[in-house]
Amino acid sequence: MYKRNCIYLLGVMTLAVVMTACAESANKEGAMNTEQTGTVQQNRVPTEAECKEKADDCHSEAADSALQILVNKTHSLGKDEVPPDLVTVDVPTVLDNPEVNQMKEEAAQALKELFGEAEKSGMKLYARSGYRSYRTQVALFQGYMDKHGEEAANRFSAKAGQSEHQTGLVMDITSDSASLQLSEQFGETDEGRWVSENAHKHGFIIRYPKGKEAITGYIYEPWHLRYLGVDLATKVYESGLTFEEYLVESQKAKSDDSEQGSHTNITLAAAGDIMFHKEQLKSGYDPVTKSYDFKEFFEEVKPIISAADIAIANFETTTGGTETYEYMGYPRFNSPDEVLDSIQDAGFDVMATANNHSLDTGKKGLIRTLEKIKGSGMDSVGTYAKRPGTRVLMKEIKGVKLAFLSYTESTNGLANALSSEDRDSIINIIDEQKIKEDIQYAKDRQADVIIAFVHWGNEYERKPTREQVKWAQLMAEEGVGIILGSHPHVIQRSEQLKLNGNSAFVVYSMGNFISNQRTETLDNEYTEDGIIIHFEIRKNNETNETKIVKVKYIPTWVYRNLDQGQQAFTYRILPIESYADKNRLSEDDKRRMQRSYKDTIAQMNAPVYAN
Ligand SMILES: [Zn+2]
Ligand SMILES: [Zn+2]
């Protein structure tokens, strides 16, 4: 009784709490810990007595909790813990040992479904090692220790009580292509790859992912599947976290929820340069109906962008109409109005319009662009038809006041053709005085968060310039909370600036969200990289204190392909991590997309060196 309670609790509490709670209980063998914290009680499994009263609710809750059990080097099982419902798995197995061919009933059923699904895709999987009793694990670990020494044994095997295999929720699997062995090589086989992308659909996760040894305590084990049920496994898979990290995060989310009454949460999504080169215009054109439609470009990112309460990106072209100019790409951009419909349809709400292409179709084009942005249902910030009452765009979402600012370092010299009045009023050329005035305006209107979108830096440089850092520091010092950079067309690092008692998140460049820039056109693979930065902002309704509680990086990659029989390229912005149809990509595209992901994440986490 005591043990089972302890186990259930493990599954739902944060790691920190778990470790102390269980260590404590273990010392007082047999005594229930009555001084549990509020967090623990909120999530605890009902007692047996409570369950008798309302048996139905309890059963599923208790069963779910049992599935969530956490077993690792700091959370062990007792030597008498034996799952009550072990069954022999009904799938091809490798070993004759009847003990290890068992799993808990529910997990065994799910394994059968997983293997069946694999077979439909032409993959044959084998089960090699499932349930292992405490006693078996004692012998196994002793064997490894004798052969490899304790330290090594600890990295790939577990001491008795610390093995997940004792739960009956685990199966080590393999394939002919991995010679029926448990080796890292399995992860590189077609079978291993298929499993890593599909296991969660049947309730399993790869419990010990690559590069997470410090967290899980185990080397990469592409073969070790842990059953969590479809719901939880899918959540863990989609989070990209290890099971340990996921438990901590979900506990945090739960305690956040319990504070909901006094807080308002909103989300902001930001992306980099939206460009339309000549090749892309061809792709959006339908010669039959003689009309444009670019919605397909955004299809895969639309769910992410439109889920955010507010989304912003840099509109690096103009919709100047065809009266004076034709539709054109680099070096002077003029795009069909339909590009705005597609951007709006993808879920964007605000276009930052101050950039070096704002004046590509002159003042008239700049004004027409603003009209069309408005006509599509979006707001703009950074350029104006005439001197505005304020350069700041204020937006209120669920009672949270956001102030948007936007500036550009360059106009490609095109502002020289404007009158000095226009140069000072219709486009925000970056300027210390203007920045300070705009921030003051936002503060006077009780903005909860001030967000600056800045077009700056050197094209194709992967590091911010001194100027970029200087501007960012000025803004952070004056109270801007989020600084979003664009223009270099490659990703530059992000960092947290703490100046003058203010804290600001800055990303120096978010790269190209969509463009025709890439290896094939510029011999620069980094121009294919983009990112959606997703902010969770929380306002305390009593104190009005507002802070960024979460920043999530969603690296994107621009896919371009000339499909058979087509005259124009197919373009897609792919959210790399969650893109589900990876199998539709060529091996080369998969490799390029993985390269992109790795480099973008590395840039986001790049250490800050003195410039
Ligand atoms: Zn295993
Ligand atoms: Zn630019």
pLDDT at 194 over 60: yes
- What are the tens digits of pLDDT across the range 537-548? 999 988 999 999
Cβ neighbours of 58 (radius 10 Å): 17
| Token pair listed for 33 | 């810990």
**Average pLDDT for 410-416:** 96
Residue 57's SS3 state is helix
Q: How confident is the model at residue 259 (pLDDT cuts 50, 70, 90)?
A: low
Does the ipTM exceed 0.85? no
Do 309 and 398 contact (CB within 8 A), yes or no?
yes
Strands (E), 197-295: 204-208, 221-227, 263-274, 285-286, 291-292
| Ligand 1 centroid from CA 267, angstroms | 39
| Ligand 1 centroid from CA 323, angstroms | 68
| Ligand 1 centroid from CA 1, angstroms | 27
| Rounded Cα–Cα distance for residues 116 and 110 (Å) | 10
| Ligand 1 centroid from CA 345, angstroms | 46
Do 439 and 477 contact (CB within 8 A), yes or no?
no
- What are the tens digits of pLDDT across the range 316-370? 999 999 999 999 999 999 999 999 999 999 999 999 999 999 999 999 999 999 9
pLDDT at 4 over 50: no
| Rounded Cα–Cα distance for residues 102 and 83 (Å) | 10
pLDDT at 610 over 70: no
Q: Which amino acid is at 433?
A: Q
| Ligand 2 centroid from CA 536, angstroms | 27
| Ligand 2 centroid from CA 407, angstroms | 11
Ligand nearest to the CA of residue 354, numbered in listed order: 2
Burial class (CB in 10 A: 0-12, 13-18, 19+), 195: buried
Q: How confident is the model at residue 63 (pLDDT cuts 50, 70, 90)?
A: low
pLDDT at 160 over 50: yes
Please report the pLDDT score of residue 39 as a whole number. Answer: 26
Please report the pLDDT score of residue 608 as a whole number. Answer: 61
Please report the pLDDT score of residue 444 as a whole number. Answer: 97
| Ligand 2 centroid from CA 488, angstroms | 7
- What are the tens digits of pLDDT across the range 475-523? 999 999 999 999 999 999 999 999 988 899 999 999 999 999 999 999 9
For a pLDDT cut of 90, what percent of the chain falls above it? 73
- 465, 468, 607 from 611: Cα distances, Å: 7, 10, 12
Specify the residue for token string 């300027």: 431
**Average pLDDT for 448-465:** 97
CA 38 and chain centroid, separation: 31
Please report the pLDDT score of residue 15 as a whole number. Answer: 30
Beta-carbon neighbours within 5 Å of ion ligand 1: 172, 224
**Average pLDDT for 427-433:** 98
Q: How confident is the model at residue 68 (pLDDT cuts 50, 70, 90)?
A: confident
| Ligand 2 centroid from CA 291, angstroms | 27
Minimum mean pLDDT range among 39-53, 371-385, 474-488: 39-53
CA angle 259, 65, 71 (to 5 degrees): 105
Q: Which long-range contacts does 395-398 make (Cβ < 8 Å, 24+ apart)?
A: 395/310, 395/349, 395/350, 397/266, 397/309, 397/310, 398/264, 398/266, 398/309
Burial class (CB in 10 A: 0-12, 13-18, 19+), 253: exposed
Minimum mean pLDDT range among 24-33, 199-208, 281-290, 305-314: 24-33
Ligand nearest to the CA of residue 219, numbered in listed order: 1
Cβ neighbours of 422 (radius 10 Å): 17
Please report the pLDDT score of residue 7 as a whole number. Answer: 33
Radius of gyration of the CA atoms of the chain, in A? 28
Ligand nearest to the CA of residue 333, numbered in listed order: 2
**Average pLDDT for 283-304:** 96
pLDDT at 18 over 50: no
Ligand nearest to the CA of residue 127, numbered in listed order: 1
Mean pLDDT of the chain: 87
DSSP notation for 441-503? HHHHTT-SEEEEEEE-S-TT-SS--HHHHHHHHHHHHHT--EEEEESSSSEEEEEEEEETTEE
pLDDT at 135 over 50: yes
Q: Which residue has the higher pLDDT, 429 or 11?
A: 429
Do 113 and 78 contact (CB within 8 A), yes or no?
no
Please report the pLDDT score of residue 51 as a whole number. Answer: 38
Please report the pLDDT score of residue 584 as a whole number. Answer: 85
Ligand nearest to the CA of residue 317, numbered in listed order: 2
Count of H-run helices and E-run strands, the chain: 21, 22
Q: Which residues pair with 21 in a beta bridge?
A: none
| Ligand 1 centroid from CA 65, angstroms | 21
Ligand nearest to the CA of residue 510, numbered in listed order: 2
**Average pLDDT for 103-120:** 97
| Rounded Cα–Cα distance for residues 455 and 166 (Å) | 56
Specify the residue for token string 């419909």: 341
Q: Which residue has the higher pLDDT, 8 or 373?
A: 373
Q: What are φ and ψ of residue 269, in 5° steps? A: -115, 135
Q: What are φ and ψ of residue 490, in 5° steps? A: -135, 165
| Ligand 1 centroid from CA 207, angstroms | 9
Distance from first CA to last CA of the chain, Å, rounded? 61
Burial class (CB in 10 A: 0-12, 13-18, 19+), 298: buried
| Token pair listed for 372 | 């069309």
| Rounded Cα–Cα distance for residues 224 and 13 (Å) | 24
Kindly list the structural domains of the chain, giving each domain's residue range(s) and its CATH number in brackets, ordered by start: 1-67 (no CATH), 70-255 (3.30.1380.10), 263-604 (3.60.21.10)
Do 95 and 128 contact (CB within 8 A), yes or no?
yes
Do 482 and 269 contact (CB within 8 A), yes or no?
no
**Average pLDDT for 174-203:** 95
Strands (E), 229-382: 263-274, 285-286, 291-292, 310-315, 350-352, 379-381
**Average pLDDT for 261-274:** 93
| Ligand 2 centroid from CA 304, angstroms | 24
Please report the pLDDT score of residue 48 as a whole number. Answer: 39
Please report the pLDDT score of residue 78 as a whole number. Answer: 85
| Ligand 1 centroid from CA 93, angstroms | 14
Q: How confident is the model at residue 64 (pLDDT cuts 50, 70, 90)?
A: low
Residues annotated as part of the active site: 221
Ligand nearest to the CA of residue 128, numbered in listed order: 1
| Ligand 2 centroid from CA 589, angstroms | 26
